[in-house]
Amino acid sequence: MSCIDKIDKSRVPKHVAIIMDGNGRWAAKRGNKRTYGHQQGVESVRSVIRAAAEVEVSFLTLYAFSTENWNRPKYEVDALMTLMVNVIKSEAADLNSNNVRLVVIGDKNSLPKRVRSEVDRIVDNLKDNTGLTVVMALSYSSHWEIINAVKSIASDVKKEKIGVEDISRELFDSYLSTAKIPDPELMIRTSGEARLSNFLLWQMAYTELSFSPTLWPDFREEDFFQAICDYQSRERRFGMTSEQIQKPNLK
Ligand code: IPE
Ligand code: IPE
Ligand code: MG
């Protein structure tokens, strides 16, 4: 039985975030260059977009390239940037016909111009779609994002647009690149690594974490559904007791 049959449609997470990890190791295991792993990972991206749309997840955030990834060998960074442009071009029509909207978070100014202009074009083409929102984290890191938010808040305080006493969790949220996006309820990281690697640190304060041993190029719909089933078997307590969660009317 596929795990999809066990999913409770009324409790599907609104937002799932994924750290797509393990492309290099997948390629090395086959005696290939790391860049081959990145190319093969594209099929997994297609799979999770299909899977998320099928179970009606509203937001799917994919960590595609971190701020730290700029420190990789130049040939790999160049290959990733070229792959990004090619994938945007080849997938645009399909994404559009599936009513997918695309949002990009990250330091867009650090991207090569050819990537930036393709990104802007596809985001604009898909902006009126009303189905799944794919949030692509490109040249993203939480440290970059949080420092930016702090700078903007400080500048608005200086200009007296806001007062120090206005600074709240909600206000801080509104200065992040994820301002209009709810926090993820579930985060999946593939490849067996159990760390966050500078990904959505503020937004994941109460996210359920799921670590899969599968290397990203092997990850498919069924693995995604499995992570949702596992998520649905957990009790999210938000600091309360199990009894309070199970019997909300108990004083
Ligand atoms: C994830 O796979 C893709 C990116 C970070 C761009 P890796 O390239 O990190 O693959 P491993 O972790 O070295 O196997
Ligand atoms: C995290 O993977 C970034 C992306 C998946 C884009 P890395 O492979 O770069 O993370 P570390 O270096 O293992 O923490
Ligand atoms: Mg990695």
String of DSSP letters for 128-191:
T--SPEEEEEEEE-HHHHHHHHHHHHHHHHHTTSS-GGG--HHHHHHTSTTTTSPPPSEEEE-T
Question: Residue 111's pLDDT is what?
Answer: 98
Residue 176 located in a structural domain: no
**Residue 3 banded pLDDT, cuts 50, 70, 90:** confident
Q: Of 10, 35, 34, nearest to 228 (Cα)?
A: 10
**Residue 214 banded pLDDT, cuts 50, 70, 90:** very high
Ligand 3 center to residue 124 CA distance, Å?
A: 30
Q: Is the CB of 219 under 6 A from ligand 2?
A: no
Residue among 20, 23, 219 to mutate when testing ligand 1 (max atoms within 8 A of CB): 23
**What mean pLDDT do residues 138-148 have?**
98
Q: Which protein residue has the closest C-alpha to ligand 2 atom 12?
A: 197
Residue 214 located in a structural domain: yes
Residue 156 located in a structural domain: no
Domain region containing 198: 10-141+183-233
Give the residue numbers marked as catalytic: 21, 69
Task: Give the number of the atom of ligand 2 that is nearest the alpha carbon of residue 69.
Answer: 9
Residue 150 located in a structural domain: no
**Residue 248 banded pLDDT, cuts 50, 70, 90:** confident
Q: What percent of the chain has pLDDT over 90?
A: 97
Residue 149 located in a structural domain: no
Range list of H helices, the chain = 23-29, 34-54, 74-97, 113-125, 142-158, 169-174, 221-232, 242-246
Q: Is the CB of 217 under 6 A from ligand 1?
A: no
Q: What is the per-residue pLDDT across 29-46, written as a single tens digit (0 to 9) for each?
A: 999 999 999 999 999 999
Residue 62 belongs to domain with CATH number: 3.40.1180.10
Question: Residue 156's pLDDT is what?
Answer: 98
Q: Of 96, 4, 94, 7, nearest to 42 (Cα)?
A: 94
Q: Is the CB of 20 under 6 A from ligand 1?
A: yes
Residue 129 located in a structural domain: yes
Residue 168 located in a structural domain: no
Tell me how many domains the chain contains.
1
**What mean pLDDT do residues 71-99 have?**
97
Is 0.85 topped by the overall pTM?
Answer: yes
Residue 166 located in a structural domain: no
Ligand 3 center to residue 65 CA distance, Å?
A: 10
**Residue 1 banded pLDDT, cuts 50, 70, 90:** low
